[in-house]
Structure formats: structure tokens, C-alpha cells
Structure 1
């Protein structure tokens, strides 16, 4: 059973300390149940141990709010499929801002987070990763259809590239490229709160020559529906496996998660969901992934 709710900010003003005082006043038997306050999991003998999960609130097609108000998306469907296989655990899913996910994992609020995460050296020191990747990120260069001169990162030298987030994977990719190509530097414009819609509008107006973005991280279909089918994209310029990220306190849960994800990959569920949400089997590229 999956419980889903949305984080609307600091909507719960009752602290763990206040709850404990209330428990003493009402019934001493409640104290034990409140011991899990602020924890990434809680005990429920009837339905299994609850794992608190954070997903991105507005990251279509990975996770997003559907028109009926429910939480939907590629990673949400994977969580639902995993939950059906876990007799000893159940998920309590919370939709949060992107930057709140790792913070919540660090603080112990969440036991698992999703969001198309790559393995990095710093993350592997802090967190646990499943054996099975849940997706494959395809970094592509987007241009206008009439602009056939750009087919790779090499072709971005001397071109106007749309702004990138200073903390994002695109910035890391372009910065890494520049460090190895002193004679073909890419002009990188870094900007907080990058709007992909504005970047694609910039392609149409001629303000930019290219937009670099992971295909799975944004709703390309909506961009085309809004601005017209006037864009093209290159073959992947970088391929990365994507993973759920697990708290180091959840090693026992990780074993069960590994088993469930292995089954979903072998029985074709992940491939089917990839075609449903991305219109292609992204796993066919994983042989060329960096990790």
C-alpha cells in the first residue's frame, strides 16, 4: 500500500517534543508510537515498515501532479510496482522541491529519494545505491530543425548555448568538456532557476543556437505542443544510468529493493514504462553509460 501526499511547506506545527507531552497527558501507550517522529521509517506490524520516500514535485515525466491531483510519472509507477512486491515494507510518498530531497535524506526524514540521480563519488560516500538502475539519462543537444550544423558538443564552440543551472548535470558536462578541449571552449552561461520553456523560445527567436538537456528530465512533448514541432536533437552526447538513492540506515531495506528492481528489469516492466513515458526504450543505451 502506497500513501501519497504533497509537501506544501511547514504545514505541521506540532513538534516531536509537543507530541510527546500530549502523549503523556492522553495515554502513556502512545509514547512508543511517537518514537519514530522525524525518522525515515516507522513500524506498522499490520502493513509492514513504512519507508518515507521523496519524489520531485514538478519533474514531468519522472514525477508530477496529474490533472486529477494525483501523483504520477515514470518513477512513481516504478515505486508502485516495487511496493507490490514488498511484503515487509510500504511506501509513504511525499512530493517535494528538488533541493529538499537530498536535504531530507541527510536529516533522516526520508529513507529513499528519486529524481533521476546519477552515481557520483560524493553521493556514493554518503548514500546507498541499488544494484539495478531505474533509468538511463540521455544528454542531448537541441536545436532548430533547420540548424543541421550541430551534431555534437564539438559543434558548440563559438555558438550561443542557452543558460544552464550552476549545480546541474549539464554544467558538469560542459565544464568537463572545456577542461579537455582548450582549443574548442564552449561559452557557458550559468543561471539559477533556468526556465526550459524560455530556453526553447530563445531557440525560436535566434537568441540561442542550442539547448543542452537530459532527455528524461523535462517534458519535451509539451514544449513541442506549445511552441511547435520545430526542433531536432542530436544523438546522446553523454549517457548516465539513473538510480533511486537510499539512506545508509536502510541497508536491510536495500536488499529487498534490489530483489524487487531486479525482477522489474528482467520481466520487462522498466522497459515498458520507459516506452510509455519516454516513447523509447532508454535501456538500449545503457551499454554506453559512464556507470
Structure 2
């Protein structure tokens, strides 16, 4: 009986301490704005997210979120950095209200999280070719060409698989586990492969260091990217949809796309390709 009484007293004490701890967590700023915890990737992905000389986060995502704060003055974003998967786990556990890690939408995640209806940007995929190549601009041009090795799974492979399923003329695919983007670009430069298929931002990051004799032959797709929220954050998602759509229509987000990517990726792919979406034109991007 004595042991039970001691256990009960200890349980009550722990409960009271937990209440004290919860009450100490700030939910508003000193000036009364609602604090929204935003998970950001600890792994940079320029130009979506990078760091400056003072190790401060910069990039398209940060400019977008800063503009959202201006248009939703009752909200203050508090940034926490972590790995992508741990960020998603944190949202599910209620640790963060949302994450801004250039997420694609997929059925599995849609069951677990809340997606705004309006994407805040696009991740573009393209064919990287030798700088002397003039004839490769789309996947149609690759049915008789040699594509650099690709992974057996993932978003890029899904695009290639879908193309082969929907077309009689197939793209020959060489599959290896975890292909190196750097080695694939070197294969294209040397002529061992006619093209490599990758995200344009990935190509930019590598090319800024290697300065290979390669270029973007053509844009293949633009995949919408979204913020990911706790399912309970329906009001916040609605507010984000409203201001994001406003920013698209008034030219704010197209201007940010031009600033960081060198092109307005809210336009269609034909327009983007016609604008000459080449690395040389984007190398001075912030």
C-alpha cells in the first residue's frame, strides 16, 4: 500500500512537471504573432536552399517563406534544421507545424500529411548533353541514343518508366544502384553516353564545381513542389494557398524563379526550353 502511494505521488509530480514544461513552450512572439515551427533540410540543395558566408540560410525557399511572413503578419516562422525523413517524422509527431524541403506529392505522403493545393515552385528535370550536341532536346530523341546509367527506383526512373510504358519506341535503360551524377556527366562529356537525365538543380550544383563541357539539351518535366503540413493545420494550409496564388499572379514568385533559377518555371516547358535554359546563362545566379 505504501509503495502504491509513493508511486501515485511520483506520477502526479511527473504529470505536474510535464504541464510546467508544456506551458513554457512559446506559441507566440513577444509582439503577439503565432509561432509556426518550420523544418528545413540540413542538406542544402541550391538554389532552393543554401547558406551564405555567415552560414545563414538563403535561396528560393527562404525568399518565398520571407514573403509569406510579410503577407501573413500574424505569423512568425521558426526554422529548425534536420534530415528530410526526420523532418517528416517530426511533423507526424507534432514537433513541427510544417516542412519546406521541396517535397513532391505522392499518394503515400498524402495519406499521412496535409498538402496545400497550390505548389510554391517546380523542380525541373532535363537531359544533359555534350556542349556540341544539337539534336537531343526531349525523351523522344533518346530512343536510339545511349542514356547514362539510372537508378532502379526513384522519381527520375518513374518518369523514364512511364515514357517507355506509353510509347512504342522505348528508351534503352542501363540500371545500376546509386549511379553517380558526377560520373554520368563525365560520361556525357567524353561521349560514352549521349545524355544524362537528372534534376536541373543537381546539374547546376555539380557544374559549378566541375565546369564540364556539357549543357542542358532540353527540359523534360517540371514537378510541382509543396510545403508539407500537419493534418491539423487546415487553416494555415488555406492561408498559404491564398498568398501563394497571389504571389504567382502578381509576379512575385515568377521573379524569384528568375532570380534563383534564371527562368520563370511557372511557364510551360516549351517556353522554358525556348528561353535557352542553359547553364552559361544561369552561372551568375545568386
TM range (shorter): 0.7 to 0.9
The Cα of 1:190 is off from its aligned counterpart by: 4.3
Task: Please give the residue correspondences for 1:253-268 in structure 2 after superposition, counting only pairs within 5 Å.
Answer: 253-268=236-251
The Cα of 1:173 is off from its aligned counterpart by: 0.5
Distance 1:167 1:185, change over 3 A: closer
Distance 1:22 1:126, change over 3 A: closer
Q: Within 2, Cα distance between the matches of 1:84 and 1:74?
A: 16
Q: Which residue of 2 aligns with 1:11?
A: none
The Cα of 1:213 is off from its aligned counterpart by: 1.7
Are 1:162 and 1:189, in contact at CA under 8 Å, matched by a contact in 2? no
162-171 or 51-60, which deviates more: 162-171
Identify the match of residue 100 of structure 2 among 103, 114, 132. Answer: 114
1:232 lines up with 2:215 in the alignment = yes
The Cα of 1:169 is off from its aligned counterpart by: 1.6
Q: Which residue of 2 aligns with 1:44?
A: 28
Distance 1:30 1:108, change over 3 A: closer
The Cα of 1:247 is off from its aligned counterpart by: 1.8
241-250 or 200-209, which deviates more: 200-209
Are 2:221 and 2:269, in contact at CA under 8 Å, matched by a contact in 1? no
Q: Which residue of 2 aligns with 1:6?
A: none
Q: Within 2, Cα distance between the matches of 1:92 and 1:167?
A: 34
The Cα of 1:150 is off from its aligned counterpart by: 2.3
Q: Give the alignment's TM-score, normalised by structure 1.
A: 0.75
Are 1:140 and 1:236, in contact at CA under 8 Å, matched by a contact in 2? yes
The Cα of 1:167 is off from its aligned counterpart by: 4.8
Q: Which residue of 1 aligns with 2:188?
A: 203
1:244 lines up with 2:244 in the alignment = no
Q: Which residue of 1 aligns with 2:276?
A: none
1:285 lines up with 2:268 in the alignment = yes
1:133 lines up with 2:119 in the alignment = yes
For structure 1, the residue ranges without an aligned partner over 5 or more in a row are 1-19, 37-41
Q: CA RMSD in A?
A: 3.0
Greater radius of gyration (CA): 2
1:218 lines up with 2:218 in the alignment = no
259-268 or 67-76, which deviates more: 259-268
Count of aligned residue pairs for this structure pair: 257
For structure 2, the residue ranges without an aligned partner over 5 or more in a row are 1-12, 272-286
Q: Which residue of 2 aligns with 1:39?
A: none
Q: Give the alignment's TM-score, normalised by structure 2.
A: 0.76
Q: Which residue of 1 aligns with 2:55?
A: 69
Task: Please give the residue correspondences for 1:78-89 in structure 2 after superposition, counting only pairs within 5 Å.
Answer: 78-89=64-75
Q: Which residue of 2 aligns with 1:31?
A: 21
The Cα of 1:170 is off from its aligned counterpart by: 0.6
Are 1:53 and 1:92, in contact at CA under 8 Å, matched by a contact in 2? yes
